[in-house]
Amino acid sequence: MDDNENEFSPEQSLRLISSMIETTKNSLKDSSHYFLLWGWAVMIACIGQYYLKVIVNYPNHYIVWWITPFVLLVHVFFIVRDRKKEKVRTFINEAGSYLWTAIGLSFFATSFVFGKIGWEHCYPFYIILYGIGTYVSGSLIKFKPLIIGGIICFPLTIITAYLGFDYQIIMLALAILVSYIIPGYLLRTKYKKQQVNV
């Protein structure tokens, strides 16, 4: 781009402004790996817990959730790696990181609550937290699969509250599938298409 001030008409100015704003609007950050990391971790934990509790009647079926600290470490590794590559900070990215920090802190704080009142009550609350996170995140980046996945979590929360614990595990797996795993893959596909078109 040259700096030819004399040949620059007001019409060209407006076109330039809108094309530059469009450029930043389209620079969607690929955050699919976070959704897929947590999505598959929760899915594997749900399948593991269902197997241990329902199929083999193992009393310490909760041990599968010890996967969480390891996933958290991978998550931190992703954050550090992504920060290094980050060339631009948008307000949307910033709002998204505040949102997920709040959701992460909610999981942390509620773990103390469920430690006190009993873990058998936790799944409807976790499903609603998935719903809030993905609905707001999807709305921020205007990505329908995340919005729809998030919205589905709300009725799933209500249904889960009325089910026995064994079925609640299946509902949690279903919630993570519709709110994290499916939108995660679709987000990755969209990002790859965007990279090809740039």
Partner 1 sequence: MFKDLDPILHSQLRLAVISLLISVKEAEFTFIREKTNSTAGNLSVQINKLKDAGYIEVLKQFKDNYPQTICKVTPAGIKAFELYVKNLQSYLTIKK
Q: Which residues bind partner 1 (CB under 8 A)?
A: 1-5, 8, 10-14, 16-17, 20-21, 23-25, 84, 87-91, 93-94
Min dist. Cβ of residue 23 to partner 1 (A): 5
In angstroms, rounded to a whole number, what is the distance separating the alpha carbons of residues 102 and 156? 22
Report d(CA 152, CA 56) in Å as an integer: 31
- Determine phi and psi for 191, rounding to 5 degrees: -65, -45
**Of 7 and 59, which has the nearer Cβ to partner 1?**
7
Of 21 and 158, the one with the shorter C-beta distance to partner 1 is: 21
| Least distance to partner 1, CB of residue 19, Å | 8
For residue 18, what are its two tokens? 């809108």
Whichever of 1 and 109 has its CB closer to partner 1, that residue is: 1
Question: 25 to each of 21, 89, 135, 156, 159, how far by Cα in Å?
Answer: 6, 12, 19, 33, 38
- As measured in angstroms, the least distance from the Cβ of 101 to partner 1 is 16
Complex with partner 1: residue 87 or 116, whichever CB lies closer: 87
Cβ pair 177, 25 in contact under 8 A: no
Tokens 């469009």 correspond to what residue?
A: 22
Q: Provide, rounded to whole angstroms, the least separation between the CB of residue 47 and partner 1.
A: 40
